[in-house]
Structure 1
Amino acid sequence: MSRLDRYIFRQLGVALLAVTIGLAALVWLTQSLRFIELVLDRGLSFSVFIELTGLLLPSFLAIILPITTFVVSLFIYVRLASDRELVVMRAAGLSQWQLARPVLAIAGLAMLVCYVLNLWVVPRSQAAFRAWQYEIRNELAAILVQEGVFSSVGEDLTVYARYRDPDGTLRGILVHDAREAGAPVTILAESGHISPGPNGPRVTLENGQRQQVEKVSPPPGSPAGTPPQLRLSILSFSENSVDLARARSGEADSRYRNAQERTLDELLHPDPAEHIPERDLKRFIAEAHQRLSGPLTTITYALVALATALTGQFRRHGGSLRLFTGIAVVVALLAFGLTASNLAARTPRLIPLIWLNTLLPGLASAWILSGAPGWPQRWWFGRRGMGAAAS
């Protein structure tokens, strides 16, 4: 690597590191706001909050690193062009591809980082994140019950306590349990306390009523088509207990894992014993191709940046149409890539769209950097000559 290569590579590396860290921190901050309630209102420790939200960072980095590579490459080379440094380098005899070497080197390193993230780090971090969520929802469900608040423990269990004594005893308790389909239960109790149980936290209630709405078949002789009747069943008790966790024995070990949690081998060769639905099998295949193709977009976006910066003339004032064109191309590629991934997850025969979106723009940019061979040379060099004369 020549001195000029090291000069440009150093600028690219510092800028890429700063922009990637800054953007990742911004995305992490916006995404972690939905978990801050667990610390402020639910009593979860700050260290658990940091660990839980930190598990999201690898997936953020895998997504934004190709984008930041494009932004940094375009910004550095446009600045070099506006400061006439590229003119001096070309006068020294450097070709387009020689000028492109630092960007290709930094993009290659970023691509390797993305492969490590996509194939190893992200699946493990997503699995750990889902496990934390599962534990908070089940094993740590007791921290979700706060006095004076209707606390949702899962989607179909709500607990309310008017206040909590210093010793942890709950007073004025209401529990609405809709986990059993078609038979919701509402429990009112004077007091209670939370204790560990065989399947997770359990609230033991004292001196209360259990109210359940049940469907009763129509009495004999009713007209055909008569809908079932609803009957309110009320039971008074001196002591009753309700499990706050949804888990049952062995359920934690068999928790269904989504596509983001699985390794590449599990996506391409799922275990038949899991009886995975056909819809999810299609998603697994699309996710596998997305992981393999995603890091290559780092090279593609870098080539788009080079084709934008090295084949046009940039001035200190004006001449920014080509710059906006390059940005618009990458924005369009991101939008098309998202659409292609969604379509491929539903229809596997559209998976080639993922690879087409990944490779074709890079090949087209490389063709432009090479001088557009096969294109009418008079037109191509005439356009470049007019741009050079204008500068």
Structure 2
Amino acid sequence: MKILYRYIGIEVLKAVTLTTSLFIFIILMDRASFIAETVLGQGVGFLDFLSVLIKTVPSFLGIVIPISFVISVLITFIQMGSSNELVALKSCGISIKDISKPVIVLGLLFSLLSFLSLMFIAPKSNVEVKKEITQLLKKKITMNITPKKFSSNFPGVTFYVEKIYPEKGYILNFMVSIQKKLQLITIFGEKGVLRTKGDSVFLDIFNGNAQVIDWKKPEGLKFLSFKSYTVELYKFSKKEQFKAKKYKTLFQLIEDGSIESRAEIIKRLSLSLAPLIVGLLAFSVAVSLPRGAVGTGVTLGLLIVVIYYVIYTVSKKLAVKTGVPILAFTPDLVFGLITVPLYLRTIKEKLQIEIGGRW
């Protein structure tokens, strides 16, 4: 029996490795396109770009792992059914219950891995990515400014630039709008130089004019003309604040204690259990399909994944909106109620899905 368990485990792991690599590649290509448009060509080197890209991988592993495992279980057992391996095992007196044991063990292992990724690894990855992008922003402060488009690379600051020289930090024929607490400053200039000093970002303006409006006294609109003028655009916080939930680990969310934090904990816990719960559902479907029903199996697998993630997304929003954090556990509850009876029928060999096969 150990040989059988080892064989099934290896086959599933091979499929998991392949599907995980494929999903990571697809997601990285999507993110690479966005990051490349943002930083490459703006004075940021390829190695810096690659560093940011690689650091994003742990941030989505917690989502990729459940999908990869579910699809891998489907692929493995549909292939075993197509090659009559399942029939051969049954003829040797090996039950479906015995065949499912490696799936349960691997489901538990991947659930644990997903739990660690979602609760600890992904938040730390998000923090590191944000820190690196902030450092790049300090070094190459023009990288979010797009010529002939309105761009906002600092809170409360909007640029419109005709021409830009990223390597030197020069901008030509530009407008910048600076929204402060009680003032709105709109500046037009022929030439500007963006530079950093310490934790502050400055804009040196040459041959320009400005309109300054005080919101308490809007009738006192001021018009200024100047040959040179320097304005502080932004001041980086000496200590980065990571208030968004995606930056917080399990212990930080527990310490926070808000409804949003509790909903986030339950949401992550729910997703981390998906490999076990949805994996067993995938197993039940795969071994119940007729021989050769590959297309049907893949379609059902994708349908299972899509339905799970739709419920997962909606339930988290409902949990926060209604103030009932446990609602974030809805996808696992729904799929658990479907999986348990189907699995019990499967191990008793009472479940047969008579569609899409060849004989």
TM-score by length of 1: 0.78
Contact kept in structure 2, 1:304 and 1:326, CA below 8 Å? no
- Range with greater deviation from structure 2 (197-206 or 12-21): 197-206
CA distance 1:345–1:139, change in 2 (3 Å): farther
Between the aligned partners of 2:243 and 2:106, the Cα distance in structure 1 is 35
Output one character per residue of 1:15-56: Cα deviation in whole Å (capped at 9) or x when no partner: 110111111110121123221123333121112212222232
Is 1:236 the counterpart of 2:225? The answer is yes
Q: 2:207 & 2:137 partners in 1: Cα distance?
A: 27
The RMSD of aligned alpha carbons is 3.5
Is contact 2:40-2:46 (8 Å) kept?
no
Who is 2:329 aligned against?
A: 355
Query: Could you tell me which residue of structure 2 aligns to residue 314 of structure 1?
Result: 290
Identical-pair percentage: 21
Q: CA deviation at 1:179?
A: 2.2
Q: Name the SS for the 1:15 alignment partner.
A: helix
**What residue in structure 2 maps to residue 134 of structure 1?**
134
For 1:157, give the aligned amino acid: T
Structure-2 residue corresponding to 1:365: 339
Higher RCO (C-alpha under 8 Å, 6+ residues apart): 2
1:344 to 2:296 alignment: no
User: Take 1:27 and 1:114, find their aligned partners in 2: how far apart are those partners?
Assistant: 17
Larger Rg: 1
Structure 1 residue aligned with 2:121: 121
- Give the conservation status (yes or no) of the 8 Å contact 1:289–1:354: yes
Q: What is the distance in 2 between the residues matched to 1:12 and 1:154? A: 47
Are 1:158 and 2:132 counterparts?
Answer: no
Cross-structure match for 1:78? 78
1 CA distance for matches of 2:169 and 2:304? 61
Higher strand content, 1 or 2: 2
Does the CA-based 8 Å contact 2:308-2:331 persist in structure 1?
Answer: yes
Take 1:254 and 1:58, find their aligned partners in 2: how far apart are those partners?
21
Q: Provide the secondary structure at the position in 2 that maps to 1:371.
A: helix
Which structure 1 segments of 5+ residues have no match? 218-227, 272-280
Contact kept, 8 Å, 2:100 with 2:283, in 1: the verdict is: yes
1:100 shift after superposition: 0.9
CA deviation profile, 1:348-368 (whole Å, cap 9, x unmatched)? 32x333334215534643443
Find the aligned partners of 1:28 and 1:190 in 2 and give their Cα distance.
Answer: 39
Structure 2 unmatched ranges of 5 or more: none
Q: Deviation of residue 92 (structure 1)?
A: 0.8
Q: Does 1:292 align with 2:293?
A: no
Comparing 253-262 with 293-302, which one deviates more in the overlay?
253-262
Q: After the TM superposition, which of the residue ranges 104-113 and 41-50 deviates more from structure 2?
A: 104-113
SS at match of 2:256: coil
Give the conservation status (yes or no) of the 8 Å contact 1:141–1:245: no
- For 1:187 and 1:205, the matched residues in 2 are separated by 9
Range with bigger deviation, 96-105 or 357-366: 357-366
